[in-house]
Homo-oligomer: A and B are copies of this chain.
């Protein structure tokens, strides 16, 4: 969803867009968008102003924003659903496996972010535009 919002912002490059408009695009509620925008603001990805005729826009050019940043921006708000499974001290495996799993999954997550880092918002909107164009011709 975060990517969707940013793609719309990129689409309207430079213009300030209201949360109500974005909500219409994502087909959801303005408050949901605003909560999301707060995360994106913290990550310095968007620039939001209050007041009449205001709204949000990208704080950098869309070519300078890659999806790994976006992912981190929204993930740090949701610190990974680790239900904090209480380690049962009785079993030798259960006792020590925790941090090993964290290490492995941390590595896997980094690999994923590396892959996301290859794609920028420009790539996304170009692909979207191309996809829309081809659909129209068909």
Contacts and interface: CB of A to CB of B under 8 A. Distances in A.
Interface of A: 1, 3-4, 7-8, 11, 24-27, 67, 85-88, 90-97, 99-101, 103-104, 107-116, 119, 124-125, 127-128, 131-132, 135
Nearest to A116: B108
Contacts of A26: 85, 88, 94
A125 to B, nearest CB: 8
B100 A124 contact: yes
A24 B100 CA distance: 20
A31 B116 CA distance: 37
Contacts of A67: 104, 108
B4 A93 contact: yes
A24 B108 contact: no
A100 B3 CA distance: 11
A97 B111 contact: no
A96 B138 CA distance: 14
Nearest to A123: B104
Contacts of A27: 85-88, 94
